[in-house]
Amino acid sequence: MKKQLKTIGILGGMGPAASAHFYQQLITQAQTQYGAIQDNNYPPMIIYNLPLANFDETGVTNSVLVKEQLITAVKMLEQSGADFIVIVCNTVHAYINTLQSSIDIPILNILEITAQQVAAHNLTTVGILSSATTRELQLYENQLTQHKITTLHVTNDQQIELDNIILQVMTGKATEHDAAQLQLIGNSLIKNSAEGIIIGCTELPLALSTTSFTMPMVNSTQTLIQATLQFAYEK
Domain borders along the chain are 8-108+223-234, 111-220
Kindly state the average pLDDT of the residues 88-92.
97
4 confidence band (pLDDT: 50, 70, 90): confident
DSSP state of 6: P
235 confidence band (pLDDT: 50, 70, 90): low
Tell me how many degrees the CA angle 175-25-123 measures, rounded to the nearest 5.
80
Euclidean distance between CA atoms 163 and 166, whole angstroms: 5
The CB density around residue 1, as the number of other CB atoms within 10 Å, is 3
**Does CATH number 3.30.750.210 belong to domain 111-220?**
no
- The reply to whether 8-108+223-234 and 111-220 are identical in fold is yes
Instruction: Please provide the average confidence, as pLDDT, over all residues in the chain.
Output: 94
pLDDT of residue 215: 74
Which class does domain 8-108+223-234 fall in? alpha beta
pLDDT of residue 208: 86
pLDDT higher at 20 or 215:
20
Kindly state the average pLDDT of the residues 13-27.
95
Tell me which of 47-56, 74-83, 202-211 is least confident.
202-211
Q: Is the pLDDT of residue 37 over 60?
A: yes
Q: What percent of the chain has pLDDT over 90?
A: 93
Helix (H, G, I), strand (E, B) or coil at 234: helix
Tell me: the pLDDT tens digits for 116-168? 999 999 999 999 999 999 999 999 998 999 999 999 999 999 999 999 999 99
What is the CB-side half-sphere exposure of residue 101 using CA atoms within 13 A? 5
User: Which pTM was predicted?
Assistant: 0.93
Q: Is the pLDDT of residue 2 over 60?
A: no
